[in-house]
Amino acid sequence: MGATLRSRARDGAPVTPDGSCALFTFQDALTAWAFDPVPTIGAGVAAVGYVAARRRLAGGQHQAGTPRAGGRGPMACFGAGLLAIIIAVDGPPDVLSEASLSAHMVQHLLLQLVAPPLLLLGGPLGLLLRADSPWLPRRVLVRLLRSRPVRLLAYPVTAFGLFTLVLVGSHLSPLYNLALEREWVHEIEHVTFLVTALLFWWPAIGVDPAPHRLRYPARLLYMFLDMPVMAYLGLAIANSSRVLYPYYAAHLPPWGASALQDQGAAGTMMWIAGTFTMVPAMAVLLFRWLEEDERRQARLDALRPRPAAPAGGGWHSDDALEAAPAPSVRSADS
C-alpha cells in the first residue's frame, strides 16, 4: 500500500496524538503521495506494451490482412485507466486510507468502477491480437482466450457473481479489517478488486474479443442488475449505528470527523458512485446500440438490389402517369 501516514509523520509532517499524520489543508491532501514500486512499474509496463503494439501496427509490422491501430480515443481511454490505478495505489486515496474509510472507499471505487472500464475501452486485447507481437504472439493469446479457465471466468454470470461476492464479502466481513492490519492482505485485496472488476466490465464494454458476447439488451440488463448491489452495500455502511471496522475506531480522520461520520460518508460515496457510474455507462451503451443498428441498416440498404429499368430506358407506366401533366379543363363554349 505504499508509505503509511506514520511514515510521513516520521518525515516531519505534523502528527495527531494517535500517531497519524495531520493534514489540515486541501493542498496537504492533494500532495499526499507515496509511490509503491510494484503497481507503478506494472502500470508503466502496460503503457509501454500498449504503445509498442500501436507502433507495430502503424509501422506495418503485423499480420497481413489486419487493420491498423485506431485513433487516439482508445489510447486516451487506456492511459486514463492506468492513471486512475496510479492515483488509487500511489496517491492521496492510498496515503489517507490508513486514517479514513472515505478515502479508502475512493481508492476502491477507482479500482472497481473507474479504471477497468477505461482500460477496456482502450481495446488492449484486440490491439495485441492485431499486432501479433513477438513477445506475445497471436497464437498464444488466442489459445489463452479459448482456454477453459478463461471461458469460465469470463462467462457473464460467473463474472457478475465474482464481482458481487468480492465487493460485498470484503466490506461486510472481518477481511476488510484484516486488510487494514496486514499490508500483504491489503495488496491481495487490491489485485482481487481490479481483476474481478475487469472480468465484470469485459462483457459489458464489448470492445475487446471475448469468449462470450452479450447483445446490447443483455448488456444493459447486466449493468442495471449491479446498481441494487452497490446501493444496498452503500446504504448498509452509511446507515450503520456502529463503527464497522475496529481499525478506524482507533485511527480517526485528520480533518476532524468522527469514525462514524467518516463511515457514513464512505457508504454514501459507494451508493452514489454506483448510480452515477452505471447510468452514464448504460447511456453510452444505448447510443452505441442505436449507432450500430443504423450502420447495419445502411449496409443492408447498400446490398439490396435495385429494380432494373425497362428496356429502352423508358419509364414504367405508373411513373409516366405520375409525371404526366394534368389535362387542362376547358369550358364547353371554347
Whole-number pLDDT of residue 147: 93
Residue 308 scores a pLDDT above 70: no
Q: Which is more confident, 325 or 223?
A: 223
| Percent of all residues in the chain with a pLDDT value above 90, rounded to a whole number | 54
Of 146, 234, 151, residue with least CA distance to 199: 151
What are 316's three cell numbers?
A: 414504367
Whole-number pLDDT of residue 288: 86
Whole-number pLDDT of residue 60: 67
Per the prediction, the chain carries an average pLDDT of 82
Of 227, 243, 234, residue with least CA distance to 270: 234
Distance CA 197, CA 201 (A): 6
pLDDT tens-place string over residues 175-193: 999 999 999 999 999 999 9
- Which residue blocks in 62-182 are alpha helix, DSSP H? 72-90, 92-96, 101-109, 115-121, 124-131, 138-145, 148-154, 156-171, 174-181
Following DSSP, what letter does each residue of 13-72 receive, concatenated? --B-TTS-B---SHHHHHT-----HHHHHHHHHHHHHHHHHHHHHHTT-S-TT------H
Distance CA 87, CA 35 (A): 10
What are 100's three cell numbers?
A: 479514513
- The model carries a pTM of 0.80
Q: How far is CA 225 from each of CA 130, 149, 228, rounded to the nearest angstrom?
A: 33, 25, 6
Phi and psi, residue 101, nearest 5°: -70, -35
